[in-house]
């Protein structure tokens, strides 16, 4: 029965490590997206410098991937 105990322990550890890895990956992806949203960008249509967000508040142009 000792073998079964270690098997369960190993399975729990893998599950725990996987959850930790997954949540940390998701958090970093989310913070990266937030940083991009907070980045300053210049609207290519009207030249207005947008301080925040992905849409120009002056002409409504969406931030393009450049």
Q: Is 52 in the site for Zn ion (CB under 5 A)?
A: no
Q: Is 45 in the site for Zn ion (CB under 5 A)?
A: yes
Show contacts with Zn ion in window 13-42 (CB under 5 A).
none
* Closest distance of CB 42 from Zn ion, Å: 9
CA-based torsion, 44, 50, 55, 58: positive or negative: negative
Q: Which stretch binds Zn ion (CB under 5 A): 2-10, 16-24, 30-38, 45-53?
A: 45-53
């Amino acid at each position: 029965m000792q073998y079964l105990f270690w098997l369960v322990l190993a399975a729990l550890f893998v599950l725990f490590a996987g959850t930790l890895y997954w949540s940390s990956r998701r958090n970093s992806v989310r913070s990266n997206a937030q940083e991009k949203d907070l980045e300053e960008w210049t609207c290519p249509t009207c030249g207005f410098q947008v301080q925040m967000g992905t849409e120009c508040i002056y002409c409504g142009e969406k931030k393009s991937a450049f």
